[in-house]
Amino acid sequence: MLKLIPDRIEIRSGKQFIVLLNQKTAHILDLHIGDRVKVKNGKKELTAILQISEEGVLDNHIGLYMEAWKELKARRGQRIRISLAEKPLSVKYIKEKLQGKRLTPEEINEIVKDITEDDLSDIELTYFVSGCYVHGLNNPETAALTKSIVKHGSRINFGKRKVVDKHCIGGVPGNRTTMLIIPIVTATGLLMPKTSSRAITSPSGTGDTMEVIANIKNDAKKLKKIAEKVGGFITWGGGVDLAAADDHMIRVRHPLSLDPEGMLLASIMAKKHSVGAKRVLIDIPVGPQVKVKDLRRAKHLKNRFMQIGKMLGMKVKVIFTDGSQPIGDGIGPLLEVQDVMKVLNNDPTAPADLREKAIYMAGLLLEMGGKAISGTGKMKARKILKKGLALEQMNKIIDAQGRKRIPKNAKLIHEIKSEKDGKVVHIDNKIIARLARVAGAPLDAPAGIYLKKKLGEKVKKGEALYEIHSDNEDRMGFAKDMAKQDSGYVVH
Amino acid sequence: MLKLIPDRIEIRSGKQFIVLLNQKTAHILDLHIGDRVKVKNGKKELTAILQISEEGVLDNHIGLYMEAWKELKARRGQRIRISLAEKPLSVKYIKEKLQGKRLTPEEINEIVKDITEDDLSDIELTYFVSGCYVHGLNNPETAALTKSIVKHGSRINFGKRKVVDKHCIGGVPGNRTTMLIIPIVTATGLLMPKTSSRAITSPSGTGDTMEVIANIKNDAKKLKKIAEKVGGFITWGGGVDLAAADDHMIRVRHPLSLDPEGMLLASIMAKKHSVGAKRVLIDIPVGPQVKVKDLRRAKHLKNRFMQIGKMLGMKVKVIFTDGSQPIGDGIGPLLEVQDVMKVLNNDPTAPADLREKAIYMAGLLLEMGGKAISGTGKMKARKILKKGLALEQMNKIIDAQGRKRIPKNAKLIHEIKSEKDGKVVHIDNKIIARLARVAGAPLDAPAGIYLKKKLGEKVKKGEALYEIHSDNEDRMGFAKDMAKQDSGYVVH
């Protein structure tokens, strides 16, 4: 075995050990870029990823990135030995998945373990996503993937207390039911610890909206305390690391915007499972402008959710809701917070659609959690809201997470007016969402769109359809131009 | 648009521009790791790949790797703007391939162009390989891939001169026909500029064997001169960059050892096409121990080669040869050179199987190149060899490439003996190849295996079956132990 002269490379490589050879040395040793190699300095030994460069290291030298140099206790004048390391078993399973094989739970667990521990390269991980995308993951595979993601992520354990949760398959602007359901449900003593996403392509995610009034970055330990004290929280999932493997898979799916169905389902279920939620309500908005376009697809997803839930020992209820227009009046973090607070305050100008959807869903969760007998959940939820118990509960949650000062409304407000008399027959979710983003949401919390007319409402020529809110003149100008080209509304 | 403060990062990023944001800034800008971003400093603008780190850069700062810093003429105190860049068209085509679509030649060309220009990330490239692996490439796609690889690689143009070439689908140890065919064929005035691989999993590739007697690293310009002067060369393909895109694809295939058939065929044909070889002989050894296990598979490959050849305007001939045992007596760089030189010198102890296979194949190439009428090529090839013209020609080629001093035979030679009287009925290619590697081949040129008995030969108890050659006692010991467990020979 060739002995190599160590050179220290002044770069951190992160979690993985990285070593560097030049092309000639690598060829002589029959090693390839990306190979896992065993590197030895006397009795010190580690497994590293091999990089190969045309220059940077001399023949018979080995470049050691800082972590590897330290771990090997390398010094000038020493000699380092290198050899090909065995490939992890998971690489074999990934190849089999790519060939169309069904994987066993043990095989899936091995892959997820190696993903979590950063033992797979991006190329290997990409082959796994490819295999799952092309050949699909059936229900047992998806359940196994869910379990493995949970097993290798952090968890929050609430012992025997009943934990409920909800999830919405996105695409509907303004749909902030979570911020109403949680105070209603937790007011009865049920636990509902919710990790939410930030906006990805929407003008605001529940995380962004909650962030206007409360701190949403807490670690798992702090979150457990909050939930035990006040019954629930609304926090950003990214700060908790509940599903580290899932984050890696999402990163690799991003460049091609791949949504392998099984991975999507596992990703959702893992986040519920990791906080011990055994009763989960799934909201699938259906409509031509949202993610799930028709009832056939919605029913297919419902079946999969139910069956995977069963395999995971979770009680899952799936509802189909209206995805034909935004929910609530405000779109954008601050405007959505204002909608939510109006509902909690029983303000007569509060958006009814948001309130009614939240009451409906909260009612179902009360029934699932044994806090209301079948058919009476909705009534009970409404009562809790009416009595101000939900508002009280929301204030406790905000204080527990850390209250923030709510910013002022946007300085610039521009009305988009109807060009004729008639009735609103269509609102384009995508155009409204894009306008809100252009106006500055979610980065500028006050920016967004405030709807003055919803589907079916009568409108007169010159009457406002909606307002654009922005703090930035350029953005406002751009949004106005866009709205002039296509307001997103059809009035007939 | 947010304006960011530039920080210079003292790392070279290579061909690609790379910029770095921290997680918070990236989130605010809705940018993800690996995104292509447009980065502007006043009127200076470039497209870079985005890296995201938890630390390393502050909020609202942007880290610019050295190349990006220079290109943007960045200085402290300036402000940099960043936005998401459009994805290249090729990413769309790659996704379609992954979904099972057939790609048009234009789409394939776009992908290959972006691969060559380093415009695709490893993740994107891996998705392309996945799509080709799972859904296959049909003949028009494979021909288009070949053409695109050639178009975007360097080429050697010999004008109107007739260029022939050969290729062997590997797996047979010792099979060094190329080093005999080239001197025979080029002795008639045909051009045969051959780029060969180095050993990947075998004890020696043609490149490694040739390297014992001649320099095999020359650039395209030098190679053209050599071929025009002496009619041919035997060089390492990796130094010429004839198929840069292919090298990238091979690198990504390596971690899972994926051999998508279409990519394999395109890889072979591109190397011929790029030196203008219009007449190509393909040797497919068939046998349970080589790459192509049976005649069905061999015929399938033959059909594909012929059809793709037609689409490329190349005349392709495919032969099936015996893959049941090593060709020649020596396995390992020096021992193979000695076999070749014996044949060229008409030495009576030269291995007949190697000589006859080379004469057969050289004869076919003479006929394909119009230097012999059909049925007489073999005779003519034998004559050229007998008269010493091939030896003379080989010496010219070696001198043109740069002659090297041939090393001495290995210091340690150990005989493996038959344990009984009988006839050799089986030789295991893989065990013989592994022994040669363990003994030190191809790194130590003199190391390898020298066969004393071939299939069908009679042998007495105690008589040598083969010798192990090595310069290293540890290696020799290890090889001896291995041979004791299984010699690779069956005598009956």
Q: Could you tell me how far CA A13 lies from the centroid of its own chain?
A: 27
Predicted ipTM of the assembly: 0.86
* pLDDT for res A45: 92
β-strand partners of B458: B423
CATH fold of A164-239+266-401, please? Answer: Pyrimidine Nucleoside Phosphorylase; Chain A, domain 2 (3.40.1030)
pLDDT in tens, B173-198: 999 999 999 999 999 999 999 988 77
- Categorize the per-residue pLDDT at A1 as very low, low, confident or very high, splitting at 50, 70 and 90: low
Q: Which residues, in sequence order, are CB contacts of A482 under 8 Å at separation 6+?
A: A431, A434, A435, A438
Place of tokens 């991975």: A263
Question: Which among B15, B249, B257 is positioned nearest to B112, based on CA atoms?
Answer: B249
Helices B429-439 and B473-485, packing angle to 10 deg: 160
Percent of chain A residues past pLDDT 90, beyond the cut: 73
Match domain A89-136 to its CATH number in 1.25.40.420, 1.20.970.10, 3.40.50.1000, 3.20.20.60.
Answer: 1.20.970.10
Q: Does residue A436 sit in helix, strand or coil? A: helix
Per-residue pLDDT at A54:
72
Q: Helix, strand, or coil here: B391?
A: helix
Q: What is the pLDDT of residues A116-127, one digit of tens each?
A: 988 898 999 999
Tell me the HSE value of B42 on the side-chain side, using a 13 A CA sphere: 7
- Which residue(s) pair with B466 in the sheet? B416, B451
A106 backbone dihedrals φ, ψ, rounded to 5°: -65, -40
Of A84, A86, A127, A259, which to mutate for an interface test with B (greatest number of B Cβ within 10 Å)?
A127
Tell me: pLDDT of A238 over 80. no
Cα separation, A361 vs A166, in Å, equals: 9
d(CA A454, CA A196): 27
Structural tokens at position A397: 């949650």
Closest Cα in chain A to B440: A1
Residue A12 pLDDT > 80: no
Q: What are phi and psi of A217, to 5 degrees?
A: -110, 100
CB B189 within 8 A of CB B229: no
Q: Please enumerate in sequence order all residues whose Cβ is within 8 A of that of B430, keeping only pairs 6 or more positions apart, or say none.
A: B289, B488
Mean pLDDT calculated for residue range B333-341: 97
CB B312 within 8 A of CB B144: no
**Confidence band for B383, pLDDT divided at 50, 70 and 90:** very high
Average pLDDT, chain A: 92
Nearest-angstrom CA–CA distance, B57 and A307: 45
Q: Is A158 exposed, middle or buried (0-12, 13-18, 19+ CB in 10 A)?
A: middle
User: How high is the pLDDT of residue A200?
Assistant: 63
- Contact by Cβ (8 Å): B414, B476: yes
Residue B239, token pair as written in the block: 């130094």
Can you give the pLDDT at residue A10? Answer: 79
Tally of residues, chain B:
492
Query: How far, in Å, CA of A39 to CA of A65, rounded?
Result: 12
Spell out the alpha helix ranges (H) of A440-485: 473-485
How far, in Å, CA of A348 to CA of A350, rounded?
Answer: 5
> Is it the case that residue A324 has pLDDT exceeding 80?
yes
The set of catalytic residues of A is 259
CATH class of the structural domain B412-491? alpha beta
| Residue B251 scores a pLDDT above 90 | no
Point out the catalytic residue in the list B59, B118, B122, B259.
Answer: B259
Which residue out of A133, A135, A216, A249 would a mutagenesis test of the B interface target, given it has the greatest number of B Cβ atoms within 10 Å?
A133
DSSP H/E element including B483: helix B473-485
Ordered by start, the domain boundaries in chain A are 3-84, 89-136, 164-239+266-401, 412-491
Domain A3-84 has CATH 3.40.50.1580: no
C-alpha distances out from residue B26 to A203, A436, B4, B83, Å: 16, 19, 11, 10
**Does pLDDT of B134 surpass 70?**
yes
Q: What is the pLDDT of residues A277-318, one digit of tens each?
A: 999 999 999 999 899 999 999 999 999 999 999 999 999 999
* Chain B residues touching A121 at Cβ < 8 A: 255
pLDDT one-digit tens code per residue, A175-221: 999 999 999 999 999 999 998 877 666 788 898 899 999 999 888 88
- How many Å apart are CA B6 and CA B263, to the nearest integer? 42
CB atoms within 10 A of CB A313: 9
In a mutational test of the B interface, the residue from A37, A87, A126, A249 whose CB has the highest number of chain B CBs within 10 Å is: A126
Three-class DSSP category at B470: strand
pLDDT digits 0-9 by tens, B398-442: 999 999 999 999 999 999 999 999 999 999 999 999 999 889 898
- The answer, yes or no, to whether residue B237 has pLDDT greater than 80, is no
- pLDDT confidence band for A155 (50 / 70 / 90): confident
Confidence band, pLDDT 50/70/90 cuts, at residue B26: confident
Contact B145, B233 (CB under 8 A): no
Q: Which residue has the tokens 């000695």?
A: B338
Number of other residues whose CB lies within 10 A of the CB of residue A320:
17
Task: Kindly identify which residue of chain A lies nearest to residue B89, measuring between CA atoms.
Answer: A256
Q: Report whether pLDDT(B1) > 60.
A: no
Dist CA B448 CA B468 (whole Å): 6
B3-84 shares its CATH topology with B89-136: no
pLDDT digits (tens, 9 = 90+) for A214-232: 999 888 889 999 999 999 9
CB contacts, 8 Å: B91 with chain A: 255-256
Residues making up chain A, counted from first to last: 492
pLDDT in tens, A396-410: 999 999 999 999 999
Q: Of the candidates B27, B200, B255, which has its C-beta nearest A198's C-beta?
A: B27
Question: If you measure CA to CA, which chain B residue comes closest to A126?
Answer: B123
- Chain B residues touching residue A22 (CB < 8 angstroms): none
Q: Is the bond into B442 cis (omega within 30 degrees of 0)?
A: yes
Please answer yes or no on whether B255 and A123 come within 8 Å at the CB atom. Answer: yes
Q: CATH fold of B164-237+270-401, please?
A: Pyrimidine Nucleoside Phosphorylase; Chain A, domain 2 (3.40.1030)
